[in-house]
Amino acid sequence: MSEMRVIGIRVEQPQNQPVLLLREVSGDRYLPIWIGQAEATAIVLEQEGVTPIRPLTHDLIKILIADLGHTLKEVRIVDLQEGTFYADLVFDNDLRISARPSDSIAIALRVGCPIYAEEPVLEEAGLVMPDEREDEVEKFKEFLESVSPDDFKATDS
C-alpha cells in the first residue's frame, strides 16, 4: 500500500471528462482516475480553499462524521474492476465503508486524512512518467494526451 497525494484535476478534451491525478508520496507512480464533474468541482474548491456559503455534500459528510463523534482515519483505493475504481473510508473504530474514490478523496481533503492505494491497483493502473522535467502539471498534460479511459478497462487475457 502506498500513500498518495492529489496532484490536481484536469478536464480531458473532447469528452469534457475530469481526470483526478494522484502521485505516490514515496514513489514515481501516478494514478489517473476519471471522475464526475460534481466531484471534480468539490475537489478543486477544497484545494483552492473556497468555502461555499452553504455546505456541499462532501462538507456535510465531514460535519456528520465529526458531530457523530467519529474520525475518518484514512481513505484507501482498494480495487479496480473493469475500469472502475473502488475505495474504502476507514474510520477510527476500524469501520470500513465502500465509496467511490472521487467522493472519498473529496472528503479526505476536507478532514485532512491520508489517501492510500493498494499495490494491486497501482500495479494495474499506476503509470511512471519520464522525470525529464520537474513540472508535474506539464507531465500530467502530456500524459492525458496519450491515454483514454479505455486504457484502464480489464481485458479477457
Q: Which pLDDT belongs to residue 27? A: 87
Query: What cell was used for 125?
Result: 493502473
Q: Which helix (H) or strand (E) holds 134?
A: none
Is the Cα torsion angle 114, 26, 155, 83 positive or negative in sign? Answer: positive
Which one has a higher pLDDT value, 150 or 32?
A: 32
Report yes or no: 110 and 46 within 8 Å, Cβ to Cβ. Answer: yes
Categorize the per-residue pLDDT at 157 as very low, low, confident or very high, splitting at 50, 70 and 90.
very low
pLDDT cut 70: percent of the chain above it: 82
Q: What pLDDT, on a 0 to 100 scale, did the predictor assign at position 16?
A: 79
103 has pLDDT over 70 = yes
Q: How confident is the model at residue 108 (pLDDT cuts 50, 70, 90)?
A: very high
Q: 51-55, 129-133, 142-146: lowest mean pLDDT where?
A: 129-133
Sequence-ordered alpha helix ranges (H) in the chain: 37-47, 57-67, 101-111, 119-125, 136-146
- Does the pLDDT of residue 30 top 80, yes or no? yes
Range of lowest pLDDT (87-101, 106-120, 134-148): 134-148
